[in-house]
């Protein structure tokens, strides 16, 4: 399993030219799965991502976790 995590100002998913989901500030995760990956692997990866300190705090240091960021 591989993941690319990107901070975004906005992002959306379109299927057949129809928007099905969108976000404003947040994270976009592109995940590649293989046959041997399982649900447990996915949960472990999710735990890592939600604990990345990739958003700025009040002093503009990259010190906020995604779920604590005021986006």
38 φ, ψ (degrees, to nearest 5): -135, 180
Q: Which helix (H) or strand (E) holds 52?
A: none
Over pLDDT 90: what percentage of the chain? Answer: 63
3-15, pLDDT tens digit by residue?
Answer: 999 999 999 999 9
15 φ, ψ (degrees, to nearest 5): -125, 125
Model pTM?
A: 0.72
| Tokens standing for residue 46 | 């999710």
Reported as a pLDDT band with limits 50, 70 and 90, residue 69 is low
Q: Which helix (H) or strand (E) holds 1?
A: none
63 φ, ψ (degrees, to nearest 5): -140, 5
34-48, pLDDT tens digit by residue?
Answer: 999 999 999 999 999
| Reported CATH class of domain 2-68 | alpha beta
């Amino acid at each position: 399993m591989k993941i690319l995590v990107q901070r975004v100002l906005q992002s959306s998913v379109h299927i057949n030219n129809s928007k099905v989901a969108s976000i404003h500030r947040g994270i976009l995760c592109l995940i590649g799965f293989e046959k041997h990956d399982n649900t447990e692997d996915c949960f472990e990866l999710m735990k890592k991502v939600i604990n990345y300190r990739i958003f700025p705090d009040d002093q503009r240091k990259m010190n906020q976790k995604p779920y604590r960021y005021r986006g």
